Amino acid sequence: MTDSLMETNAPGCTPDSRAVATRLAALSHPARIEILKYLSASNSCYC
């Protein structure tokens, strides 16, 4: 997937998240990176 196919200007997405999403195209969207960062920072189980 290329940047042209990916919405990288989504609100709340940091440049770091955009770069990670670009490298890991399977995640396909920088917002998903933000969600993963949020979940990994919490002390709860999301099973």
The pTM of the full predicted model, rounded to 2 decimals, is: 0.42
Q: What is the separation of C-alpha 31 from the centre of its chain, rounded to a whole number of angstroms?
A: 4
- As given in the structure block, the two tokens for residue 44 are 């709860």
In this structure, is residue 46 part of a structural domain?
no
* Per-residue pLDDT tens over the stretch 7-34: 556 666 677 877 777 777 766 678 888 8
Task: Specify the higher pLDDT residue, 35 or 21.
Answer: 35
In this structure, is residue 47 part of a structural domain?
no
Instruction: Write b or e for each residue in 15-45: b if 16 or more Cβ atoms lie within 10 A of its Cβ, otherwise e.
Output: eebbebbbeeeebebbbbbbeeeeeeeeeee
Q: What is the pLDDT of residue 5?
A: 41
> What is the band of 4 on the pLDDT scale with cuts at 50, 70, 90?
very low
Domain hosting 33: range is 3-41
- How many folded domains does the chain comprise? 1
